[in-house]
Structure formats: C-alpha cells, structure tokens
Structure 1
Amino acid sequence: MKKLCVLALGLLALPAFADNERGFYLGAGVASIDDTQDGVDNVSQIRAVEFFGGYKYNAALGVELRLGNGQTTGTSNRYFDAQGQLQTGTIERDIGSYQSIYYKPELVNDEAKLYALLGYTHVNSSGRILDATGKLVSSSDGSESGYSYGIGVGFVINEHFNVNLEYKNICEEISGKPNLASLNIDYRF
C-alpha cells in the first residue's frame, strides 16, 4: 500500500518535473510587415510594436494575448488597379492596430524552444492612393478578423528571459495575407 501511494504521488507530481517553463509571462517586441496585396511589395516598410502576455500550463498547453500597433506607413510608387493595370502614383498603407489570441504549443529544452502560434486576429488598417501629381484618388479604412498562425524559435538567456524570432501570418482574411517577421523578448515569472 505504501508503494502504491508513493507511485500515485509521483505520477501526480510528474507534470511539475517535466516542465519548468510553466507560469505567466510578459513580453514586447518589434515587427516588420510584408504584404504584396497589389502585386507590388508596397508595405514592407511598415514597422509595428507588439506587447503580449500569456500563461503556460505545460509545453502543450498555453495561451497568449497580443496587442500590436503600426508605427510607420508603407508606400510604393507603383500599384495594380482594379483592372490589373500597373499604375504610377503613390499607394500608402497603415496597420493601425491589431489584437490576437493564440494557442501556443512549445518544444522546450535548456537552450532553446520551438513553438507554433495558432489563433485569431483582428486588424485595423487604412490606405490611400495618390495619382502622379499627388492628388488623392481614393482612400479606405477597414478592419478584418480571421485566423492567424506562425512559427517561432526562442533562445533562453536565463531562467526568466527569452529572445524570440517569429514569422507569422497576421490575418488570413486580408487579401495579400500580410506577414510579420518579429523579434521580441519575454520575461517568465
């Protein structure tokens, strides 16, 4: 009976031994947004900042919330119009803000972690088209929501800090499917 109790207590404690990366964490980072919505790489100059927080129960079960805000405007001097004709003029795009919730499974060891981001994102954006003389042709403001996914690798600095590199699709519903490459740091409590 004693052996059975010790075995049962050992099995209950096993998740605590298997993952020392559980708990709450907070982080911040910078991102570069790449989008070829009009067939021209016209928003690769957009930069954003992100703030996030999450909770890891174990390597397979974690949730994360992210808030991002665009910091610069992406511009291009060429774009394709609605008929598919290449036009000269200026097209400008802004990512105003975005909010995401992710399921975040991880593979962790003492030096690094590999993780996936699977979730849902809401994005606010705006755009303007100016003709060759600088006259406003059209403008639009909009918001979209949809599935978001990505992959990342994190490097352990010490028991609390990680530096992460990520590549993710910000929102599947936006035509051109803008992608973010980001660098962030997180603190695990």
Structure 2
Amino acid sequence: CACDTRGSKVFPKFPNGLCIQNSPKPCICKPNAVGPRCQRCRPGFWDLSSDNPEGCQSCNCTAEGVAGELADCDLETGRCTCKPLAVGSGCSRCPSGSRDLAAGRWLGCLPCGCDTAGSLGPNCVAAPDGVGSVCACLNDSVAGRLCDRPASEHFWPGLGQHRIELETSARIP
C-alpha cells in the first residue's frame, strides 16, 4: 500500500501503517491527514509529521481575516493568506489606519475614516469599551468615533455660519 507513515496510523504489528488491501482507502489516516496514502493535510491544517498523533497541526487562521472561504494556510510554513486589510500570523488584526475586522468584508477591515479637521491623524485605536475602534481627537472640544462632531456644550461653526464683512478704504488727498 505504501502508506505515508507521517499521516497514517501506525500500530506495533504494522510499523509502516495498517494497509487494507482492495479498499478505496487502503490506509487508515490520522485525524488531520487525508489522501489514499494519508500523504497530505486536511484543509485548515499543515506540517504533516510522524511525531504528531493528529498527523497535522491547525493553521490557526482567523476566518474573518483570511482570503478565501477556508481558513487555510501554506502546507509547509503554516502562514495564513490574509485579506488585503488584515495582518498578524493568523490574520486576526487590522493594520494601522483601519478598524473592525469582519468576515463579510472583502478587504477584512474598514479604513478608519478619521475626520481630518477633528482628529490627530488617520489612525484609530481600540475603543475604551473594547468594542470597535475610535480616532484620537484633537482635544476635548471634539467628539465622536471619527472625531467629526463637537463635544457636548461645544460649538463648531459650519461654512454657512461664518460671516465676513469687507470694507474698502481709500485715501483722500
């Protein structure tokens, strides 16, 4: 049968793996190994090894952050394939300048969208309550997750609220 001993179950009487002749699956695989000879890892697993009783170890990719439907990884390195705006070994975090990792988003995370006039910069940080993220506001007179509105008891004049009175003067000889 030529079972792959890295992925097949090995028994004392069968050190090269138990082989069932004339069977569509002649080798008995470890839980995380697949193939007729138990020669590869199941999707979502990597590092086929005879030392691992499960055959392969989990990729540990975050479903929200990986590209594609499966939380799959490179079979040799275990590196996850992240969405464009997801980072970390398991694609579990948003990079600087983005927020709110979610499975239904093609990019993974959303751009922060901090208001350029009311925030200290384009990057956001974890919200104090631990839910989502917020922009760092310029000062206490600015509020909102995006630093885009005045704080309570403060006023931000809009363009229509500015009045300019222009006068001309001329020198009389």
Which TM-score tier does this pair reach, normalised by the shorter chain?
under 0.3
Structure number with bigger Rg: 2
Per the normalisation by structure 1, the TM-score is: 0.23
Per the normalisation by structure 2, the TM-score is: 0.25
Kindly indicate which of the two structures has a greater share of residues assigned to helix.
1
